[in-house]
Amino acid sequence: MIVAGAGIAGFAAARALLAAGVPVTVLDQRASARTDELAAAGATVVIAAEPPPGLFDGVSEVVVSPGFAPHHPLVVAALGAGLEVYSEPELAWRMRGPGAPAWLGITGTNGKTTTTTMLAAILAAAGLRTAALGNIGEPLLDATGYDVLAVELSSFQLHWSRDLAVPAGALLNLADDHLEWHGTFASYADAKLAIWRAATPELGGTAIGNLDDPLVADALRKVTGRAIGFTVGEPAPGQLGVSDGWLTDRVFGTGALMEADRIRPVGRHNVSNALAAATLALSYGVSAEAVRTGLAGYQPEPHRNALVGTVAGVGYVDDSKATNPHAAYASLTGYPRVVWVAGGQLKGVDVDELVASVADRLAGAVLLGVDRAEIAQALARHAPGIPVVDIASTDDGAMREVIAAAAGLARAGDTVLLAPAAASKDMFASYAHRGDAFAAAVHALEEGGPGERAHDDRRPGTGTS
């Protein structure tokens, strides 16, 4: 068996296969402590950028790290040789033994981690041994000693799955993302819909979907097995939703669950995430009291709509996790007047619709990152009256330049919002690193005091820095 990539997922896969007595060849571009450890454990380690001749001889399966796209040379070669290709969650599913924990699955373009960790908080409040795993946390192959798992599954992981069929799976939303990996939106959506693989009369699983997302609602109507919808509006019988300001269950007979305005992080989209988590938990048999306790005590994950500080009456909010236009829209529409900090890697996704839909609440924009020109062009078309500052720097001081510029554009009552609508790795190690840099720059501004705020006397729409 071949394991492609010796990162966290690949290392876990190779180690589990070796422990099961399966001969393993590990392919990676560079040697590391992980490849050394796997070699010592009995794996054949091949260090190469592309599959060498003879690599697939006598092999029927390849486990790839999620980052291996369908057009990657190794994947193309493996599929061309008739090999089965899948990823670590699929392997973990296939290797589950007696007494393995149940899986409750979550996917969607946005809100996956928030919903998954909300679900884990509810399950823990019910007294169950649980963890939030999958696309976050430890590899699923390492998950032992649990009763039930809250499993976040990315489109990459679901694309590379065949048998994986969680008994209850929630689809939060669908919007353009990762098109550079999947090639088309249809391929991306198909991968996400695999979260409902078990929702058939034969397998008896449950499909849970967001009725406020037209694409998800349409797909949910086509499910042949059990389907449950949730909405931030008034729920009909057979749905969960919000009634008289309360999260309300009209499926499982538990009724009012908790006040919607107590959900954290704040925002309509996070009420939707809480409903998804509650639906999954109730479908597993968890009590309404555990849902209330879990959601009330939930501690939001970092870099998700987090107020970093207030300087001279201006709030500075870190939503660095808003790595695509859909997530950025949810964030931007939560504030009445915004100085928008945006830019990075757009991943082949168009931002025109996003900018047009939020133009009326923008007081200004500060742009950074490799694809900032595309956002600038959209702003010129749809918000030509607002000042736009272009930050060309890519070094460690770039975020301080961003905050200085944003402070010069903002006035008391405004929100400076980092909601980049783009990935971060053109300039930062991760979205978390980007959010940390934003917070550090805000704290530096706080220490300097209002007198050190930058002032911008350029004419609106000049687009210069």
For the purposes of burial, counting CB atoms within 10 Å of the CB of 167, is it exposed (0-12), middle (13-18) or buried (19 or more)? middle
Look at 254 and 299; give whichever has higher pLDDT.
254
Determine the pLDDT at residue 453.
37
The answer to whether the beta carbons of residues 60 and 53 sit under 8 Å apart is no
What pLDDT shows up at residue 397?
87
Model confidence band, residue 225 (pLDDT cutoffs 50, 70, 90): very high
Distance between first and last Cα of the chain: 54
Mean pLDDT of the chain: 92
Alpha helices in 284-414 (DSSP H): 288-296, 325-332, 352-358, 372-382, 398-409
Rounded Cα distance between 23 and 3, Å, is 10
Task: Give Cβ neighbours of residue 409 (< 8 Å, ≥ 6 apart).
Answer: 339, 363, 364, 366, 387, 389, 456
Confidence of residue 262 (pLDDT cuts 50, 70, 90): very high
Amino acid at 8: I
pLDDT at 436: 96
Find out whether 410 and 339 touch, Cβ atoms under 8 Å: yes
Res 89 pLDDT > 80:
yes
Percent of the chain beyond pLDDT 90? Answer: 82
Please name the residues in contact with 366: beta carbons below 8 A apart, sequence gap of 6 or more. Answer: 339, 340, 341, 342, 388, 389, 391, 402, 405, 406, 409
Q: β-pairing, 226-230 with 25-28? A: unpaired
pLDDT for position 456: 34
Interval 43-71: pLDDT, tens? 999 999 888 999 999 999 999 987 789 99
Please name each of the domains of the chain with its CATH number.
2-86 (3.40.50.720), 91-296 (3.40.1190.10), 306-452 (3.90.190.20)
Q: Indicate if the pLDDT at residue 460 is higher than 90.
A: no
Give the neighbor-by-neighbor strand order of the sheet with 25-28: 44-47, 25-28, 2-4, 61-64, 84-86
Q: Which helix (H) or strand (E) holds 362?
A: strand 362-367
Residue 176 has pLDDT above 70, yes or no: yes
Query: For residue 179, is pLDDT > 90?
Result: no
pLDDT tens-digit profile of 90-113? Answer: 999 999 988 899 999 999 998 999
Instruction: Please say if the pLDDT value at position 181 is more than 90.
Output: no
Is the pLDDT reported for residue 451 higher than 80?
no
Q: How much is the pTM?
A: 0.76
pLDDT of residue 465: 25
315-344 average pLDDT score: 93
pLDDT band at 182 (very low <50, low <70, confident <90, very high): confident
Confidence of residue 464 (pLDDT cuts 50, 70, 90): very low
Q: Are 69 and 60 in contact (CB under 8 A)?
A: no
Q: Give the pLDDT mean for 437-451.
A: 83
| String of DSSP letters for 167-182 | SEEEE----S--HHHH
CA separation for the pair 169, 171 (Å, rounded): 7
Distance (Å, whole) CA 75 – CA 7: 17
Q: What is the mean pLDDT of residues 278-282?
A: 98
The pLDDT, as a whole number, for residue 227 is 98
Local confidence band at 452 (pLDDT 50, 70, 90 cut-offs): very low
Q: Is the pLDDT of residue 322 over 50?
A: yes
Q: Cα angle vertex 433, ends 399, 373, to 5°?
A: 50
CA 84 to chain centre: 27
The predicted-structure confidence for 22-50, as pLDDT tens digits, reads as follows 999 999 999 999 999 999 999 999 999 88
If residue 452 lies in a helix (H) or strand (E), which one and from where to where? none
Strand spans (E) along 83-159:
84-86, 102-107, 130-134, 148-152
pLDDT of residue 302: 81
Position 417 confidence tier, pLDDT thresholds 50, 70, 90 = very high
Of the pLDDT bands very low, low, confident and very high (cuts 50, 70, 90), residue 158 is: very high
pLDDT of residue 271: 96
| DSSP conformation class of 409 | H
CA-to-CA dists, residue 28 to 36, 68, 363, 371, angstroms: 11, 12, 47, 30
Q: So what's the pLDDT on residue 107? A: 97
Q: Which of 69 and 301 is assigned the larger pLDDT? A: 69
Which residues lie across from 171 on neighbouring strands?
Answer: 107, 209
Average pLDDT on 348-353 reads 91
Residue 381 confidence class, pLDDT cut points 50, 70, 90: very high
Q: Please report, for residues 306, 395, 417, 438, the alpha-carbon distance to residue 398 in angstroms, rounded to integers and kept in the order given.
A: 21, 6, 16, 10
Task: State how far the Cα of 227 lies from the Cα of 1, in Å rounded to an integer.
Answer: 37
